[in-house]
A and B are shown apart, each in its own frame.
Chain A
Amino acid sequence: MFPSLTRLPGDLFPDFEALQRQVEQLFGAPSWPSSIRASARGAFPALNMGVTAEAVEIYAFAPGLDPAKIDVELEKGLLVISGERASDLPQESDKATVYADERFSGPFRRAISLPDDADAARVQASYRDGVLKVIVPKRESAKPRRVEVREAGI
């Protein structure tokens, strides 16, 4: 094909990408079952949860926050993470043009239910590289234990 037809000028691409994103939003819905508390795609912050033998670990992907202003609460087996992220965009005044405004800004609140064996009384939270990590230890009684098998006396 003619190079002039296949090569698009740079200015057309932003429109192209906006369209591509819309298509993704329409058809890109995940097929796996999601938690009943999961919000629409793009909820802030995204949450991952995993378990070890000792604890439940929750990772909240919440970049660009002041750790002192993140609220982590436990309410009846529900972990609630809330706060606010300020917009980094310039005010509508100075000679700046905004081409993309995709990053989340505003107040947020997300909740995730913890497994029954999580010990809500001993929670630790830390923030590194924009990820909030919450560790909830498991109850002592729920931790795996090794049971000795003794030879029965005859």
Chain B
Amino acid sequence: MDMKQGALDREGRTGDAPALVPPVDIVEDENGITLKADLPGVPKEGLSIRVDGDTLTFEGAVALGESSELHGVYAEVRVAQYRRSFALGRDLDTGSIDASMKNGVLTLRVAKREQAKPRRIEVKAG
């Protein structure tokens, strides 16, 4: 992985079209990591999630279904695309990612590899 991709991709700023960086919550527990991202206006079909090496990228296209006659008078959301990338550590299983979308919130669940799960080590009496 070269530096350019590793550093710039993370915030979604590559040579690609401009995109909003969605806010996320990331929580780790014993079995894996749960990521939630706000992607309001993105239908399930407009979502794409890909893993390239150890980089996880999700992208969403906003589709509001507005009429073509609509002309904007005020806008706080000025880009109709979201994108964000994360580098997954080696302890995460890139082959086991669950994704679901509800009310504009994407939930990604990445499991840990078996050997990365915490184990309790028994101390035997001498």
A residues near B, CB below 8 A? 6-8, 10, 13, 17, 20, 35, 38, 43, 45-53, 57, 59, 61-65, 88-90, 94-104, 112, 115, 127-131, 133
Contacts and interface: CB of A to CB of B under 8 A. Distances in A.
Interface string B20-50: 0001111111100100111111110000000
Most A C-beta atoms less than 10 A away, residue of B36, B37, B71: B36
A65 B103 contact: yes
B77 interface: yes
B26 A61 contact: no
A49 to B, nearest CB: 4
Contacts, number: 129
Say whether chain B's binding surface is mostly helix, strand, loop, or mixed: mixed
The size class of the interface chain B forms with chain A is 35 or more
B6 interface: yes
Contacts of A53: 69
A38 B29 contact: no
B123 interface: no
A99 B28 contact: yes
B70 A50 contact: yes
